[in-house]
Amino acid sequence: MTTLARIGERLRQDYGEPGQHAHERLRSWLAGEVPYAYPEVLARHLDADRLALVFDAFWQALPFGTGGRRGRVGYGPNRMNSTTVAMTVQGHCQYLTAVFPNRTDLAVVVANDVRVFHDLAGMYGFLGDSHPLLGVSSRSLGKLACEIYAGNGIVAYFAEPENDTAVLTTPELSYLIGQLGAVGGINLSASHNPPDDNGIKVYDQYGSQPVAPNDQRLVDIMAQATDIRSLPFAQALSRDLIRPIPRQLHEEYIQTYVRLYNRIHTPLPDWPIVFAPLNGCGLTTVGALLEQVGFTVQTPPDQGPDGTFAAIPFRVPNPEVPQATEPAKAFADAHGIGVVLSSDPDADRVGLEAKLPDGSWYHFDGNQLAAMLCYFLMLDPRGPQRRGLIIETLVTTRLLGKIVAQAGDSWIVDDLLVGFKYVAAVLKALDRTGIYHDVRCGPEQLVLAVEESHGGMLVPHIKDKDAAPVCLYFATLYQQLCQERKTLLDYYIHILEELGGYADVNRSIMMSGAEGVLRRDRLMRSLRETPPRQLGGFTVTDMIDYRDETRFGPFVSETDQFPRNVLQIVTDGGVIIIRPSGTEPKLKFYCQLLPHETETVLRGRALLEAVQTRAAAVAGQVYNDLLARLDCRLSEVSLLLSDIIDLAHKRAFDTGTLPRLRQAFLSGSLPSLDDTLAWLREKTADMTPGADPLPALRAPLSVLCEQWRTEGLSSPALEALRRWTQQTQPTQRTRPCDAE
């Protein structure tokens, strides 16, 4: 029996029918039946010890999720690599020629971020320090895409074609498609994912990602695209099939927001802004816009473009993760600055951190950002006091509805599925008919579109979220509050006091690999087959299934099914929404809690703390209620681990690391803090591949130390660890933080 046959037998034996599919795909790739397959490298995978890796890489083709494909870089169809990109782009070419049969001037825009694959997780250590994927970058994949468009006779606009470090952000891509009269575009980026990931997103002629059923035809054509037609990059450039993006269009993009801003505030040099692009592309858009308007902007020197995200804790450049801006906050402390704005690598998401009078920093989540921005644009007398259309997804805070009602003469669309492509679909519908859900208005009446994942849109012709204008308005609000000796947190608390103590908290259960997908699907199936009577401590009164065709209409295509894999669970305390992520291997849930009567008499920080304590407790209970359907649970300590950490690692921490740590303290085998931290770093290294795991352990270990002290456990090393968990970065008071 050949080695391939033996591996095939093991795949079928261990994984059943999916294992058979993996074997068939592996055989096709080894035979060189797909482009850029690297059969000689795949042959080195054929070892029984790597069976799980082979299965995960070959059991499916990387799904076409929220507008494109995203996943780990690696070998096989369930990985991001040159094959995945080439087949996606060739399929896109064939789709465009079919949709625009009479156009002889087809053109697309190709964007890329900063990513470079270095296998920081060590997945391919068995291949040594030299193999074809090492060093593959978003830029090199973008060049490959340009070659394929050119080979199909389609012009590809590409940022500075002869500059291998050039980048283009997601929102600017959306803008350029319209300005250049292109019929679509793609972006080589994995947004805020870890550096071992990459992705490709497809955009239509409107600068948005297509929705069902329009994306189904694209997916169907892509599935059959194996005959890749390409033209060498230099040759395509000389034939004018690859063209640079005109520099003036970047200036016009910036001016779009300068005109919208309309000088509502004169920037004050006494209160500079720290902007952290988190090693991504944001300096070209967010940084440029802030400086164009006149803000004094400072950026940490190590935060510029870096495809490994080396300066970012856990190498996770996500503004949603509070730890991502720890280095930027330390930089702000050193320079006496009281605010940190940030953006993810493709500059469509925004982060906000504000320094408080006691020297600590406050991280705002996406729902808080949405509420503050909407309030500033509509109700704040210092803001533009705009009226018109607000759009949000169904998982975004209900506070926006209260703001719109108080503003008057305005409308809100608040029932959209998750993703800005659905926001764009509303704007396109308004552009065609002027009517959406019996409300007559036009896209030009858009005030704001937001989602809970730190994204905002402020102009209708840039049909994707954009960190640049959101940062501009928060920089403005920060300086206005500085003049009043108030903080951004004071501003949010004022909104709660005025409109009610709405509590929003979102969490994720990360489940990687094929087994994770199966567990995720099993959990969703369990909820449908046996709807919960209680969830998060609340009584369930209704469960709305967006896959219910009698309620929401028949599926219009296969691509319509995954986005509608959403359960909205109504309880007597609020709404809990559960859905798989369309871009990452995780199950997400969103708790939207109504104001509680016990909090109506509270004011200031007491109100905020009561709201947040209640929300965190509910979210933790929901987390374990969901895990119970997978026959597991997490302790209070492990629930405090960041949700960027896989469930398997959280369970190992709970059942393995913590008991062994307790035993080590009892036996005295860890006599000092240094010994303890070194031991923890070694035991939890897999939690954050390529990055120090200790920052992720500080909060859970703080709770654990107090628990063990209460139980009577005592040792010098435990006491030293407790003090370590309470350490914070040194801070200094800044002018805006003198407020009480």
pLDDT in tens, 358-370: 999 999 999 999 9
Domain at 82-245: CATH code: 3.40.120.10
Q: Which tens digits make up the pLDDT trace of 334-360?
A: 999 999 999 999 999 999 999 999 999
Within a 13 Å sphere around the CA of 623, how many CA atoms are in the beta-carbon half?
25
Give residue 3's pLDDT. Answer: 92
82-245 with 252-499: one CATH topology?
yes
CA angle, 455 then 457 then 463, to 5°? 110
Confidence band, pLDDT 50/70/90 cuts, at residue 732: very low
How many CB atoms are located within 10 Å of the residue 40 CB?
11
- Of 676, 514, 658, the C-alpha closest to 650 is 658
Check whether 281 has a pLDDT greater than 90. yes
Give residue 731's pLDDT. Answer: 34
Asked whether the whole model's pTM tops 0.75, one would answer yes
For the chain, the domains span 1-59, 82-245, 252-499, 503-630, 638-725
Check whether 396 has a pLDDT greater than 70. yes
Q: Find residue 418's DSSP bridge partners.
A: none
Give residue 66's pLDDT. Answer: 65
Q: Which tens digits make up the pLDDT trace of 10-29?
A: 999 999 999 999 999 999 99
Give residue 226's pLDDT. Answer: 77
| The CATH number of domain 252-499, selected from 3.40.120.10, 3.40.50.720, 3.30.470.20, 3.40.50.920 | 3.40.120.10
488 burial (CB, 10 Å; 0-12 / 13-18 / 19+) is buried
Check whether 735 has a pLDDT greater than 90. no
Give residue 734's pLDDT. Answer: 32
384 burial (CB, 10 Å; 0-12 / 13-18 / 19+) is middle
Give residue 1's pLDDT. Answer: 58
Query: Is 357 within 8 Å of 740 (Cβ atoms)?
Result: yes
The three-class DSSP label of residue 449 is strand
How many CB atoms are located within 10 Å of the residue 102 CB?
4
Distance, in Å, from the CA atom of 259 to the CA atom of 76, rounded to the nearest integer, reads: 47
Check whether 118 has a pLDDT greater than 50. yes
Give residue 739's pLDDT. Answer: 33
Domain at 503-630: CATH code: 3.30.310
Q: Which tens digits make up the pLDDT trace of 199-223?
A: 999 999 999 999 999 888 888 888 8
Check whether 439 has a pLDDT greater than 70. no
Of 83-87, 495-499, 513-517, 608-612, the least confident? 513-517
Give residue 76's pLDDT. Answer: 97
Give residue 438's pLDDT. Answer: 63
ω into 345 cis (within 30 of 0): no
